[in-house]
Every structure is written in structure tokens, then in C-alpha cells.
Amino acid sequence: MTSSALSSRVVHLELHTTGLARAREFYETLCGWRGEPIDTVNGSYLRLELGNNLGGGIVACSCQQAIWLPYVEVTQIDTATHLARQLGASVLLEPREGPAGWRSVIATAEAGQIALWQLKGWQI
């Protein structure tokens, strides 16, 4: 199995935090990023436009500390998640379908966490 399941392009950055309002204020003031509230079934989410065709968001969650999670585009979510597991990563979130595509979340102690993202319309 090769890395052909990955495009290696970061397409989205998402901040997971317990302090959504404070994070919103911080990044609006520091970077000029305006958050657009999006209704989700899982809670509060702010969509961000980060520039250079890079999307982003701030999501309220019960994490221990705030963490930025990059989304890396893949052509085959199952294959890419399996490859990550073979390379020693823990799969924190198995591939899951959402409105616009599929994602999984992987992590290693040395490489941190990333989300693998397959846009709908690609073969799964």
C-alpha cells in the first residue's frame, strides 16, 4: 500500500476548544478572522475563512486543551486510515460520513493529530 490515497494538501484547519467565545474574540482581534455561526447537531461551530482557499472553523468540545486539527485531503478515506494504522497511528475516529464528505482522525505521540478528509463525489 502506498501513500497514493493522500493528496497531502491541507484543506481545512479546525480549532477544538472549550472556550469558543474567547477563541472567537482572540482570533477576530489578532487575525481579523470573522466567525460565521453554523447550526450543527453536535453543538456550536463557527465557520472561518482563513484565506488562500483554506477553510476553517472553531468547534466547542470537551477537550482537555485547545488543539488545532489540520484536515488533509485524501482520495480514499478507508485506505488512508488503514495506512496510518499500519504506520503506528492510533485511530481516534474511524471514517465517518458527514454532509460534505468523510473524515477520520489519527494520532501518534511524535506526529500529533490530523484529520483525513475525503470530499463527497470521490469514490469511497
Grid cell at residue 78: 478507508
Tell me the whole-structure pTM to 2 decimals: 0.84
| 8 Å CB contact between 85 and 39 | no
Residue 61 CA to residue 86 CA, distance in Å, equals 29
How many whole angstroms separate alpha carbon 61 and alpha carbon 42?
9
One digit per residue, the tens of pLDDT, for the chain of length 124 reads 445 666 678 999 999 999 999 999 999 999 988 888 887 777 778 898 887 878 899 998 888 899 999 999 999 999 999 999 999 999 999 999 988 899 999 999 898 999 999 999 754 4
CA angle 104, 121, 113 (to 5 degrees): 20
Model pLDDT, residue 55: 86
Please report the pLDDT score of residue 124 as a whole number: 41
CATH superfamily, domain 3-119, is 2,3-Dihydroxybiphenyl 1,2-Dioxygenase, domain 1 (3.10.180.10)
Kindly list the domain boundaries of the chain, sorted by start residue: 3-119
Residue 4: its pLDDT value, please? 60
Helix ranges (DSSP H) in the chain? 20-31, 77-86
